[in-house]
Amino acid sequence: GAGVSQSPRYKVAKRGQDVALRCDPISGHVSLFWYQQALGQGPEFLTYFQNEAQLDKSGLPSDRFFAERPEGSVSTLKIQRTQQEDSAVYLCASSLKAGVQDTQYFGPGTRLTVL
């Protein structure tokens, strides 16, 4: 695949359920980003990985949110005990290099709806 892929594309969860969202970055990309985009808003930064290292998780809204990238490629964003305010589109992006002028490539997003 040429681009960033995310799965599932749509997820409906009941309040209190745990969910796991997957991101497959472009092969060989060092940097990986997660964003949360609420309806009618711009993306808000959640966390950043450089290879397998999570260098910045300052945007994670609570300790219910957890992200990992154990082998420096695929990443999973996990949300425990989902709440209605977690409903949003979750975007993943990757870039080839780290911390330099490099283009981020975004995936199509996972739309999470918490009932």
Write the interaction track for other proteins spanning residues 96-115; mark x where CB under 8 A is met and - where it is not: --xxxxxxxxxxxx------
Q: Which residues partner with 21 through β-bridges?
A: 77
- Which CB atom, from 25 or from 82, has the smaller least distance to other proteins? 25
CB distance 64 to 21 below 8 Å: no
CB distance 57 to 47 below 8 Å: yes
26-45 positions binding other proteins, by CB under 8 A: 31, 33, 35, 40-45
Per CB under 8 A, 16 contacts other proteins = no
Distance in angstroms (rounded) separating the CA atoms of residues 19 and 89:
13
Per CB under 8 A, 25 contacts other proteins = no
